Amino acid sequence: MNVSFVANGIDDCPVIQLDKHTRPNGNITVVEDNITVPFDIRRVYYLYDVPGGEERGGHAHRNLYQLIVAASGSFDVILDDGKKRRTVSLNRPYYGLLIRPGIWRELNNFSSGAVSLVLASELYDEGDYIREYSDFLREKRSV
Ligand code: TYD
């Protein structure tokens, strides 16, 4: 078992204030690997066109680190480490939520037009997912 999977808790998932370059003609926010986030960025994906009332996520990752940004609009991320739950509201493109391995997450409360930008430490690997909450709890408690 990956040690960080077991050890990481929701308090290890900070909301990071990202670099923001403000100009009268528009703003830029920058994320750099191993500077802004503690991992190499190997994959970028974005979630959009989420119908009102829909939920996403509902899984954990064994090894993956992610930074989640509300690039547009807003949504909530529920974090769960098997002991505690916490809801983080993301609603600005210059804040990013760092999610470490071993954290169950659910995304809901999407505003119209919300875009969830995700920077990830690994390429897509279905084998890295835990999609059943009961499996997550069992793996989390096995030391
Ligand atoms: P998933 O990560 O389960 O979505 P969410 O957490 O937003 O609910 O991904 C849904 C599907 O999309 C997954 O079964 C396969 C595909 N997918 C890829 O092919 N590559 C990717 O990088 C991602 C994130 C998803």
Atom from ligand 1 closest to the CA of residue 131: 3
Measuring from atom 17 of ligand 1, which residue has the nearest CA? 124
Beta-bridged to residue 66, according to DSSP, are 99, 120
Instruction: Read off the pTM.
Output: 0.96
Q: What is the spatial distance between Cα 52 and Cα 43, in angstroms, rounded to a whole number?
A: 27
Q: Report the C-alpha gap between 18 and 69 in whole angstroms.
A: 10
**pLDDT number for residue 65:** 98
Return the closest-CA partner of residue 78 out of 92, 66, 63, 88.
88
Q: Ligand 1: which of 56, 105, 107, 123 to mutate, most ligand atoms within 8 Å of CB?
A: 56
Range of the domain at 15: 3-141
Catalytic residue from among 42, 43, 56, 59 = 59
CB environment 80-105: b (16+ within 10 A), e (fewer): bbbeeeeebebebbbbbbbbbbbbbb
Query: For residue 137, what is the enclosing H or E element?
Result: helix 133-141
Total domains, the chain: 1
pLDDT at 4: 87
Tens digit of each residue's pLDDT, the chain (143 residues): 688 899 999 999 999 999 999 999 999 999 999 999 999 999 999 999 999 999 999 999 999 999 999 999 999 999 999 999 999 999 999 999 999 999 999 999 999 999 999 999 999 999 999 999 999 999 999 86
pLDDT of residue 143: 65
Torsions phi, psi for 40 (to 5 deg): -75, 135
Give the pLDDT of residue 23.
Answer: 98
Phi, psi angle pair for 142, to nearest 5°: -90, 110
The CATH number that applies at residue 128 is 2.60.120.10
Catalytic residue list contains 59: yes
56 CA: nearest ligand 1 atom? 8
Distance from the alpha carbon of residue 32 to the mean position of ligand 1, in angstroms = 23
CA dist., res. 101 & res. 128, Å (int): 10
